[in-house]
Structure 1
Amino acid sequence: MISCVVDAKQMLSGRVYDVLRDAILGGDFAPGDALKPQELAGEHGVSLAVVREALVRLVGDGLADRRTNRGFAVPLQSDRRWQDLAEARCVVEVAALRLAIERGDLEWEARIRASHHRLAGTPAFEGTRVTAEWSRAHRDFHRALLEGSGNAVLLETFDRMWLAGELARRWSSGRAPERDYLGEHRELEEATLARDAETAAALLTRHLTHTVDALGAD
């Protein structure tokens, strides 16, 4: 009986987490907006404990902050974390990309081609909102670039940082609407498949830092 109750709570918490994650990424909450557990519990028809569990997961993903004596809130665009995140991603992803170029086989090359083809052919927006299909294709392409490394720790680190990086990217896209994502991804694919580690590393670094540069633009 106890295990059934725990399972039900986890299922509800997962549902609330999914809704809040998509709402934050979709821009339904502005940077700095409070995430009030009591209001959210009433809105979703669940207990405070369920909402708090979902919010703690969001904090772990970098999509929410837990502020002392002030509860939960969406992060601020001006927060130093975005520079730190971009720096960490450059270190981890560039290292993994270099290893992938060194170690990757023909199947890895085929996955890159397939994931880039899917990304390039998937509509990015529906109105002003980024489509879920494009977001998945975007993540799949970036992960495919690194999978040839064969390093599970680097790939797990990529997975942990992705959602927070995606939030920063979505915020930055509104401040740099002229950015050529298609061109950046095409150049990354070409340099990687050409096994040009120096060019690929430079392109990936520039790709990742463009996001935080746009967030810091006045």
Structure 2
Amino acid sequence: MTQHSAPTSTAPAKRMLSEQVHAHLRDAIMRGDHAPGAALKPQDLAKEQGVSLAVVREALVRLVGEGFADRLANRGFAVPAYSDRRWQEIAEARRTVEPLLLRMSVERGDVDWEARVRAAHHRLTRTPVYVPEEGEYYSSAWSEAHRVFHRTLLEGCGNQVLLETFDRMWTASELTRRWSTHRNPHRDGVEEHRRLEEAALARDADTAAEVLAQHLTLTAAGLTD
């Protein structure tokens, strides 16, 4: 029994370190500490974080799966570039799926759904978009309020499989939103969200779907201007 105690006791510690490094790198990429297209060198990151190469590589592989890093053949890892085709593919997928879910929500949502949409929009409008301590990209609190608003709009559809698809696409497009907003600071997202709430609560499925499709198109277009 004594022989097997060491691996068992070290595994949780390694997982915890990997979680910490993953969270640190994810936040750093979202803050813009690592520019689009910049190399993410495991050796340098391991030295910076004071952890092993294995821990850093595990964290980087997870970031690749989430869309926050690319794994390059024989070249290690890098932050995705503005020109990465994936952003347009994700935008196309979202424009295909999310307006359909919104139509379903408008048709199926009950009064409780309406109340949640109104509350989520209120929270979004009252949350500061930027805070000094988080740099020039939008705040983590606003990011979460934004996610909750968009997901709440779609939750009236009542289809958990489709909502899980939304969750995956939302995570995959996080960098798109941050970079697009940063490159297009004069875009009136407040008005776009107001129109979304208004059309959804008015039970105007056509307008709601159209406004959402435009909203998603503008986000992706912000990386190609």
Question: What band does the TM-score fall into relative to the shorter chain?
Answer: over 0.9
Tell me if structure 2 keeps the 8 A contact 1:63–1:163: no
TM-score normalized with structure 1 length: 0.95
- Structure 1 ranges of 4+ moved more than 6 A: none
Consecutive unaligned residues in structure 2, runs of 5 or more: none
User: Is 2:128 the counterpart of 1:123?
Assistant: yes
> Secondary structure at the residue paired with 1:129?
coil
User: Is 2:89 the counterpart of 1:102?
Assistant: no
Counterpart residue identity of residue 35, structure 1: L
Consecutive unaligned residues in structure 1, runs of 5 or more: none
Structure whose CA Rg is larger: 2
Match of residue 42, structure 1, among 38, 47, 58: 47
Tell me if structure 1 keeps the 8 A contact 2:95–2:216: yes
Match of 2:13 in 1: 8
Q: Distance in 2 between matches of 1:148 and 1:48?
A: 45
User: Is 2:88 the counterpart of 1:80?
Assistant: no
TM-score normalized with structure 2 length: 0.93
Deviation per CA, 1:131-163: give whole Å up to 9, x if none.
111111011101111111111111111111213
Match of 2:198 in 1: 190
Q: Percent of counterpart pairs with the same letter? A: 63
Note the C-alpha offset of 1:24. Answer: 0.8
Alignment of 1:41-190 (within 5 A): 41-127=46-132, 128-190=136-198
Q: Distance in 1 between matches of 2:22 and 2:44?
A: 15
Q: Distance in 2 between matches of 1:4 and 1:181?
A: 49
Note the C-alpha offset of 1:205. Answer: 0.4
Deviates further, 112-121 or 145-154: 145-154
Q: Distance in 2 between matches of 1:124 and 1:173?
A: 11
Aligned-residue Cα RMSD (Å) equals: 1.2
> Secondary structure at the residue paired with 2:68?
coil
Deviation per CA, 1:67-114: give whole Å up to 9, x if none.
100011000101111110100011121121111112111111111111
Counterpart residue identity of residue 123, structure 2: R
